[in-house]
């Protein structure tokens, strides 16, 4: 399996750590691949990791993760080379600058906006509605972090859910990409719980349901 991640910040690095543990190589798409801040990852993970400009990434990854700030998404996606049917997992949130609202312009969720910028790709919304710390370590004493998935292509969604389970989350399909709005609202709620209540960032959401098949 090959994975590309656009953005090497909190989310990009947390995802990469999960892949490195399974010896899955990761190519990061970043603005400045020679930036010294990437040196420690390069020296620690050697051949498992590479850094390129977004337009230099090979279009042969099984999964491409989007982990850049929302304000950069249009420019970043303009540079991205991808194949028809490629799975592009949108981890971003169209957050307003005060982190209290979402830019859902024209009634479109961020996930749907991303899909409109990537015609022919199979866009899946996931990994956006929990903190980066939970992405790196989804297990709690009382349960496992919930990872909800929205997307239009069933096979791509199944592949993503299988990866999600391999990475240690409880994955659940919530429907078409039009449901991505719920996941982006859930991200707002997670941020509220983490930073405006006594709960704090060391929490995650779990689903309790009788007879659920996951």
Ligand X SMILES: NC(=O)c1ccc[n+]([C@@H]2O[C@H](COP(=O)([O-])OP(=O)(O)OC[C@H]3O[C@@H](n4cnc5c(N)ncnc54)[C@H](OP(=O)(O)O)[C@@H]3O)[C@@H](O)[C@H]2O)c1
Q: Which residues bind ligand X (CB under 6 A)?
A: 7-12, 30-31, 54, 67-70, 72, 75-76, 91-93, 95, 128, 131-132
- Per DSSP, the three-state class of 183 is helix
Nearer to ligand X, 111 or 131 (CB): 131
Q: Which of 105, 74, 88 is nearest to 177 (CA)?
A: 88
**Min separation Cβ 205 and ligand X, Å:** 12
Question: Of 70 and 211, which has the nearer Cβ to ligand X?
Answer: 70
Chain position whose Cβ is nearest to ligand X: 9
Q: Which of 58, 59, 53 is nearest to 8 (CA)?
A: 53
Could you tell me which of 180, 207, 84 has the C-alpha nearest to residue 126?
Answer: 180
Measured from the CB atom, the residue of 9 and 101 that comes closer to ligand X is: 9
Least CB distance from residue 211 to ligand X, whole Å? 30
- Tell me the three state secondary structure of residue 102: strand
**Least distance (Å) between residue 47 CB and ligand X:** 21
Per DSSP, the residues of 95-135 read B-TTSS-B--GGG--HHHHHHHHSTTSEEEE-S-SS-HHHH
- CA dihedral over 122, 126, 132, 133, signed as positive or negative: negative
Shortest spacing between CB 60 and ligand X, in angstroms: 20
Any idea which residue has 């080379």 for tokens?
81
Length of the chain: 214
Write down the least CB distance from residue 130 to ligand X, Å.
Answer: 6
Nearer to ligand X, 26 or 54 (CB): 54
Q: Which is nearer to ligand X, 93 or 204 (CB)?
A: 93
Instruction: Tokens for 144, please give them.
Output: 């496992």
Residue placing its CB nearer to ligand X in the complex, 54 or 177: 54
Least spacing, CB of residue 154 vs ligand X, in Å: 24
Q: What is the Cα–Cα distance from 39 to 201, expressed in whole angstroms?
A: 28
């Amino acid at each position: 399996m090959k994975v590309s991640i656009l953005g090497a910040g909190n989310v990009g690095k947390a995802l990469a750590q999960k892949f490195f543990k399974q010896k899955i190589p990761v190519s990061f798409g970043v603005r400045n691949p020679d930036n010294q801040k990437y040196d420690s990852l390069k020296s620690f993970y050697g051949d498992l990791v590479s850094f390129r400009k977004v337009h230099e990434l090979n279009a042969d990854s099984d999964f491409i993760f989007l982990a850049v700030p929302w304000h950069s998404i249009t420019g970043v996606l303009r540079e991205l080379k991808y194949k028809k049917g490629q799975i592009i997992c949108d981890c971003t949130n169209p957050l307003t600058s005060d982190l209290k609202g979402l830019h859902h312009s024209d009634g479109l969720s961020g996930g749907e906006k991303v899909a409109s910028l990537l015609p022919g790709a199979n866009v899946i919304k996931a990994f956006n509605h929990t903190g980066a710390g939970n992405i790196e370590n989804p297990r709690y004493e009382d349960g496992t972090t919930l990872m909800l998935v929205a997307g239009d292509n069933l096979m791509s969604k199944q592949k993503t859910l299988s990866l999600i389970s391999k990475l240690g989350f409880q994955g659940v399909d919530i429907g078409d990409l039009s449901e991505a709005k719920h996941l982006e609202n859930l991200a707002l709620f997670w941020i509220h719980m983490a930073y405006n209540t006594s709960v704090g960032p060391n929490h995650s959401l779990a689903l309790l349901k009788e007879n659920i098949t996951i």
